[in-house]
Amino acid sequence: MEILEYTDEHKEFRNRLREFAIKEIIPLADEWEENHLIPKEIWQKMGKAGFLCTNVPSEYGGHGLDFLYSVIIIEELSRTNQSGLVVSLHSDIVVPYITSYGSEEIKKKYIPGTVTGDTITAVAMTEPDAGSDLVSMKTTAIHDGDSVVINGSKTFISNGINCGLVVVAACDPEEPDPYRSISLYIVEEGTPGFEKGKKLDKMGMHSQDTSELFFNNCKIPKENLLGDKGGGFIMLMEKLQQERLVCAIGAVAGAQYILENTIDYCKNTLSGSGKPLSKSQATRFAIVEMSTEVKLGKTFVDKLIAEHMNGENVVIETSMSKYWTTEMIKRTVDRCLDLTEDYGISEECLLGRAMRDVRVHSIFAGTNEIMKEICSKFMGL
């Protein structure tokens, strides 16, 4: 019995997205990697086809669909041999901050563009000296009458070059409690004092536009505050359950795709003895062991998806799933490289790119060490 129940509408959506990916994404993946950038036009095509912000309510231009549509998008994009088009970051991590905490005026102003793909979003938390430890951030936001003045810098911001809208975490320097000093603000591209820095060259995820962002006396309307002043840390914590679940879904789907390709290669490639590589006992055992881990991961994550959709608190479990699945996909890629021998290190094989791309999975959205720390605290250790 399947844990998740997909309707005919879900299945039709998956088929339509897979066809879209075959036509619009996969043929261009290598070009995007070479250019180190995803063209904005593909975001607009995704929006026009109904593949962005699927759970946004209809009154803001969305489709009002359930989280399973997000799961489908994550799974299908994991099969496109590129990591630059991070739709899940936009649709399932950044935009929910606006739909959950933005005023009615803010939601009507900004959300329709995120659904159509005309507005690409980013979230700016990480700083040169503050990564997983959010309370160490130095970016400040000072309320001055009807305005808020932001000063500071952010780094390793995904969608940093293409973004038209950024959710920025900044602190009040006069608030002594670091947990009550953080607030979230919306900053538009083109706002005076907001500048995008260089696009960062990374080990992997080459087509993903990761960059630095700078705020120099950046003045925004006070209405661009999300939620209550000083409530940023709590809001970030409330949304991390879905963010980490999204990471786990992508890791399992990516591992499954990589393993499928490796199995196909081993079945159809002859060894020196003239037999398929899959006829080697060592190869067969390795494939079985990896397949077991992928199935275990998928079962765990599917259960968490169901519980998350049911409104249950699974913070501990999603933190566990984030660290375990992202370590699992690294093990899977590494072992698949062993099985495919020389071919695995060639650029025509997806494994070389996968090895570079998946390494960061255990770092972003909170390092895996932080995941374990969170779990241990909840467990009273």
Active site residues: 243
Residue carrying structure tokens 């933190």 = 319
What is the spatial distance between Cα 259 and Cα 329, in angstroms, rounded to a whole number? 10
What sign does the CA torsion over 46, 199, 34, 359 have? negative
What is the spatial distance between Cα 124 and Cα 127, in angstroms, rounded to a whole number? 8
- Is the CB of residue 120 less than 8 Å from the CB of residue 93? no
| Phi/psi of residue 212, nearest 5 degrees | -95, 150
Look up residue 344 and give its two tokens. Answer: 């695995």
- Is the CB of residue 88 less than 8 Å from the CB of residue 250? yes
What is the spatial distance between Cα 114 and Cα 259, in angstroms, rounded to a whole number? 34
What is the spatial distance between Cα 61 and Cα 105, in angstroms, rounded to a whole number? 14
Helix/strand/coil percent split, the chain, to 5? 55, 15, 30
23 DSSP assignment: I
What is the spatial distance between Cα 364 and Cα 126, in angstroms, rounded to a whole number? 10
Name, in order, each residue with C-beta under 8 angstroms of 334's C-beta and a sequence gap of 6 or more.
Answer: 355
Q: What is the CA radius of gyration of the chain?
A: 21
Using DSSP, state whether 269 is helix, strand or coil: coil
209 DSSP assignment: -
- Is the CB of residue 306 less than 8 Å from the CB of residue 335? no
